[in-house]
Structure 1
């Protein structure tokens, strides 16, 4: 990956488009947003694969990420709370909780930061709308 310096950040051209990264959200994604998105996207993708492998019939997965940062500079990320809202009918909460735990253990992004950032996860079950 090659990042090219710009006046207010860095850019990289990827197969799905251009990504602008900047400490100023007026000019691109902030680095902490990309870190959180990587963890949420990775864990969600692994969870999806687990649910499909277990043949659990679900309609949708939404992930809400709440971030706690240090007050002092450099405002290190201390904690990420991920809430997985899974929509479907007749979903078993215990199986979903176990599936989320397995997903987090198999998410390379979460495992990369587990010793420096506390990651907690919870699930919510939302009945499908007909």
Structure 2
């Protein structure tokens, strides 16, 4: 995997993946885009959501939606690494089996989400979930 990050102006950066997809980032707190650390946090959310959806679909659950609310704490001094992250999954669907939803979240966080596995070396990662019946 390869990527390129190019400084644009002020604290704005454009990241481009080897597949040609781009993401604008901004190091200014009042910037026009997400900061690199926000992108890392969103990356964990995307990675784990993909896992949960895939596991539930494989388990033949009638999943209609899945989102994850992420909250984090960072070290007060540089390097301001994440020290705590909580991922709260909101899974919606019809006839969802709670044990399967719980297991999908656990499998993602404990085994499959490569971003979470990488971040757990620096941060305490916890997860929770709720089911919304539609």
Given the two structures, how large is their TM-score scaled by the length of structure 1?
0.87
Q: Which residue of 1 aligns with 2:130?
A: 124
1:24 maps onto 2:6 in alignment: no
Q: Which residue of 1 aligns with 2:39?
A: 34
Note the alpha carbon deviations across 1:21-66, whole angstroms, 9 max, x for none.
2211414320111111110000100111111111111111111111
1:11 maps onto 2:17 in alignment: no
More strand by share: 2
Aligned partners of 2:42 and 2:58: how far apart in 1? 24
User: Which sections of structure 2, spanning at least 5 residues, go unmatched?
Assistant: none
Aligned partners of 1:87 and 1:12: how far apart in 2? 33
Aligned partners of 1:13 and 1:115: how far apart in 2? 26
Aligned residues: CA RMSD: 1.7
Per mean C-alpha deviation after superposition, the further-off stretch among 24-33 and 42-51 is: 24-33
Aligned partners of 1:99 and 1:13: how far apart in 2? 31
Check whether the contact 2:13–2:26 (CA below 8 A) recurs between aligned residues. yes
Instruction: Report how many residues are paired.
Output: 127
1:2 maps onto 2:4 in alignment: yes
Given the two structures, how large is their TM-score scaled by the length of structure 2?
0.84
SS in structure 1 at match of 2:89: strand
Task: Specify whether residues 19 and 86 from structure 1 end up closer, same or farther in structure 2 by C-alpha distance, changes over 3 A only.
Answer: same
User: Which sections of structure 1, spanning at least 5 residues, go unmatched?
Assistant: none
